[in-house]
Structure formats: C-alpha cells, structure tokens
C-alpha cells in the first residue's frame, strides 16, 4: 500500500507521540465495535413490544455510529499525524461531545423503553 502524500511532508515526530496517537485511534475502533455489539444486543435482548419500531431505531443509530466512527477515527488519526509532522497545534474535534451526547440520549431512551415494556 502506498504511503499517503502527507507522510512525506514535515519531519517524523517522536515515535512516542505517534504511538499515543495510534492507541487513541484503536480506542475509537473499540468504541465502534462496542456500538455494533450494542446494536445487536438491543435487537436480540430488548423485549418485543408495541415499541418495536423504537427498538429498531435505537439499534439502527448504534449500528450507523459503529459504521461511521472508524472512518472519522482514521481521519482524526491522520489529521493529528499531519499536525505533528508539521509542528502545528493538534486539531480540535467535536467527536467526544457528539458520541457522549448520542450515547447518553440513547441510554436514557432505552431506560424509558425498558420501563414502558
């Protein structure tokens, strides 16, 4: 596989920073896998009821998040690598707030769904 063009610009950062960036990327991948597992769990283990459409919607949001998150994580990893290579500040991402907010809303909704069922 050919190396990305940005990998030829700037200077190689300290390997410890590159490895830390890689560990962060892998943590996002684990989160994506957990979201996919959560989608399966919602469909398999929440009781069927009149709110089954809502159950399906929750599972769909988790599955979509688990599918989109690795793409966003890779883009974030490469942006951080690029910034480190060019001695620029690390880029800001709203990803933490978005993922936390969506999971919090889904968690509250699942509690309501479980109580109503």
Give alpha helix (H) positions in 2-94.
15-45, 52-85
pLDDT in tens, 57-114: 888 999 999 999 999 999 999 999 999 999 999 999 888 898 899 889 888 877 877 7
- The three-class DSSP label of residue 1 is coil
The C-alpha atoms of residue 111 and residue 65 are separated, in whole angstroms, by 20
Neighbour-count burial of 15, counting CB atoms closer than 10 A to its CB (0-12 exposed, 13-18 middle, 19+ buried): exposed
Other beta carbons within 10 angstroms of residue 52's beta carbon come to: 13
- The three-class DSSP label of residue 14 is coil
Confidence (pTM): 0.80
What pLDDT score was predicted for residue 18?
Answer: 93
């Amino acid at each position: 596989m050919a190396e990305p063009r940005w990998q030829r610009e700037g200077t190689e950062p300290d390997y410890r920073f590159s490895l830390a960036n890689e560990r962060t990327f892998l943590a996002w991948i684990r989160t994506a896998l957990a979201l996919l597992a959560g989608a399966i769990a919602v469909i398999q283990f929440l009781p069927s009821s009149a709110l089954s459409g809502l159950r399906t919607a929750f599972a769909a949001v988790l599955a979509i998040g688990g599918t989109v998150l690795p793409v966003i994580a890779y883009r974030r990893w490469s942006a951080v690598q690029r910034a480190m290579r060019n001695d620029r500040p690390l880029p800001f991402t709203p990803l933490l707030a978005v993922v936390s907010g969506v999971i919090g809303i889904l968690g509250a909704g699942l509690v309501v769904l479980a109580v109503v069922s």
